[in-house]
Structure 1
Amino acid sequence: MRAYHEKRHYGSDLPISVLQLHNFSFLAHWHNDVELIYVKKGEIRVGINSENWLLKTGDLAVCSSGDIHYYDGRDLESEIILVIFNPRLIGSPSGWPGDVHLVSPVIKNAEEPGGSREKLTAQAAILIERMLAEVSEKPKYYDTLLVGLLYELGGSILRFAPTEPIDPRRNRRLGSGRQAMREVLDYLEAQCFRPITLEEAARQAHMSVYHFSRTFKSTTGMSLTAYLNSIRIDKAEELIRTTELTMLDIALECGFTNVRTFNRAFRQFRGRAPSSLR
């Protein structure tokens, strides 16, 4: 699980990634690119901004530019396909969808049997599977076909998913709150090597402790302490694999006060002792 403001780097000049993932988990993060989630089978918990859902087979979700989102596949079985792309690829450099707002970022497959949403998820499944095949096999002119499939997928979402006109005042209000949380996530990533209290994090967000605690939990799916420990464990795992530092040095370097606390947190998030990586 990784955190923070993700600045995506694509493996080619084509700014799109199509990934199939098993039992995926990923800490709350945000980026300017659009992210589409299709559940091929099973179940996965997904949070987008301050809401969360249990997505099931056939469900589709859309993370627009700047949305804070996370994945929690713990204790669940799932196969998902992620389509992540820069919106300029389909002519929307300032974000997609540009002139309307999706009523909900989640399109549930089973909510409307035989209706427009079921038609959308069925069509999305075909298009996303084709996109995955094109990226995996890279046949001749796959990049041209990939962009065409993306246009068709985007058009299908806008045709069949409920949308509403953009309300500038509502957007400003929501945008302000999301910006505050994005700044907090960046702050935690930069400062996680030292103790950070709930009061300090709340000040960064310009919120009361009570309001911040509730907002942070609904946005990230976990408490501030758990979120910080997740970031610290990610950093510790990298140091264990790439350096010869002692476990004590690694624990202190990553913001833990002692080895015992470090070992306990590592077992909680990785299910094994940190020493098992060496």
Structure 2
Amino acid sequence: MKAFHEVRSYRSNYSLWHSTYQDISFLAHWHNEIELILLRTGSSSISVNDRTFEAQQGDLIICNSGDIHYSDAANQQNTIDFIVFDPALLGQNYPSLLCPQHLIPGGFLQEHRLIAPLDHLIETIDAELDEKQLYYQEIITAALREFWFRLRRCIPDEPSDVHLQGQRSEFLYAFHQLLGFLEEHFSEDIPLETAASMIGYSTGYFSKTFKRLIGINYITYLNMLRIEHAVSCLQSSSDKIIDIALQCGFHNIRTFNRTFREITGYSPTEFLQHSSADSFSLTYYQRRSSEQKLAQDDSPTIINNQC
């Protein structure tokens, strides 16, 4: 399920992507790439690992490789630039170049004259990826490195605490492993107690940590995995709805129908009759209205709140 461990595909052999969205939220996910999130206008509530930031116009959010991040921007209007790129573009010593801050305020960018290099980076990405002339990859990489290293020069390294860093790495790794296990075994009975024991947490602490980290509770997450698989089966097979429900881990059709509607906005039968069922992409994730859509042909993690 790429909405959570996102394995991005690029349009060329150059591992960098940029796009701009209006009035959007995005699902909890993580990836090996670095992600820059620039608030052009408006505001957005963005969570990175176990911290939530209320980003305002001009602010920059940085998600390092492996960070679990999501946004719940209900009733918030915004225009947001997303840049996702392979850490290797910064050089072989990337782990030592991690940005110690996730939120870079717009005032900080202005004070340190970083707005122009950031705007230049975005303009360069768009122009060079569009034309793909000779050495376009090198030109983009140069602009990326110029901005990144100017930024890192202005942000002092935090005092190194090897023990705390190790704990953080183990914490994220444990959740990455758990999410991967759930993606493979979603059809099995995996109660909250079992998931908690897999990473050595009490059920109460696990439940709170999971909700803080992922943005939804454990049962909702597991049901989303099941419903996503159900959608795939409805699209590609002629199996009966009851058989699909059982294959996906539901014990009765009533629970399956109710959960399917809660997550997709449709009953399974309505979904099959939907005009765009063949191209329907799940991850409708706590739909707030019938207009809420997944951005097509782009990041599988982004939800657009307006048509």
TM-score (norm 1): 0.84
Q: 2:53 matched to which residue of 1?
A: 53
1:41–1:56 CA contact under 8 A, matched in 2: yes
Give the equivalent residue in structure 1 for 2:111.
Answer: 115
Amino acid at match of 1:267: R
Identity among equivalent pairs (%): 35
* Alpha-carbon distance, 1:165 to partner: 4.3
State the partner residue of 2:147.
Answer: 153
Aligned positions of 1:19-168 closer than 5 A: 19-92=19-92, 96=94, 98-99=95-96, 102-109=99-106, 115-116=111-112, 119-121=113-115, 123-161=117-155, 163-168=157-162
Which amino acid is 1:247 matched to?
I
Residues 151-181 of structure 1 deviation map (CA, whole Å, 9 limit, x = unaligned): 1221232133454243322211211212111
| Equivalent residue, structure 2, for 1:271 | 265
Name the aligned partner's letter for residue 18 of structure 1.
Answer: H
Q: How many residue pairs get matched? A: 272
Contact 2:117/2:146, CA 8 A, preserved across alignment: no
Asked if 1:194 corresponds to 2:191, the answer is: no
Kept in 1, the 8 Å contact 2:45–2:71? The answer is yes
What is the CA–CA distance in structure 2 between the aligned matches of 1:22 and 1:246, rounded to whole Å? 39
> Higher mean Cα deviation, 209-218 or 10-19?
10-19
Task: Return closer, same or farther for 1:261/1:170 CA change in 2, 3 Å cut-off.
Answer: same
- Matched letter for residue 173 of structure 1: Q
The CA distance in 1 between the partners of 2:11 and 2:83, in whole Å, is 14
In structure 2, the partner of 1:14 is 14
> Per the alignment, do residues 169 and 263 of structure 1 end up closer, same or farther by CA in structure 2, a change over 3 Å counting?
same
Q: State the SS of the aligned residue for 1:28.
A: strand
1:142–1:173 distance in 2 versus 1, CA, 3 Å = same
Contact kept? 1:236, 1:254, Cα under 8 Å: yes
Taking structure 1 as reference, are residues 3 and 185 closer, same or farther at Cα in structure 2, changes over 3 Å only?
Answer: farther
User: Does the 8 Å CA contact 1:63/1:69 hold for their aligned counterparts?
Assistant: yes
Q: Which moved more, 1:58-67 or 1:258-267?
A: 258-267
User: How far apart are the structure 2 equivalents of 1:137 and 1:235?
Assistant: 38
Structure 1 unmatched ranges of 5 or more: none
Which stretches of structure 1, 4 residues or more, deviate above 6 A after TM superposition? none
**How far apart are residue 202 of structure 1 and its match?**
0.3
Structure 1 match to 2:252 = 258
Using the TM superposition, give the Cα deviation of residue 137 of structure 1 relative to its aligned residue in structure 2, in angstroms: 4.3
Residue in 1 that maps onto 2:224 = 230
Q: Measure the CA separation in 2 of the matches of 1:193 and 1:134.
A: 45
What is the Cα-based RMSD across aligned positions, in Å?
A: 2.7
CA–CA separation in structure 1 for the residues paired with 2:140 and 2:109: 29
CA displacement 1:139-159 (0-9 Å, x = unmatched): 454322211221122123213
TM-score, normalization: structure 2? Answer: 0.77
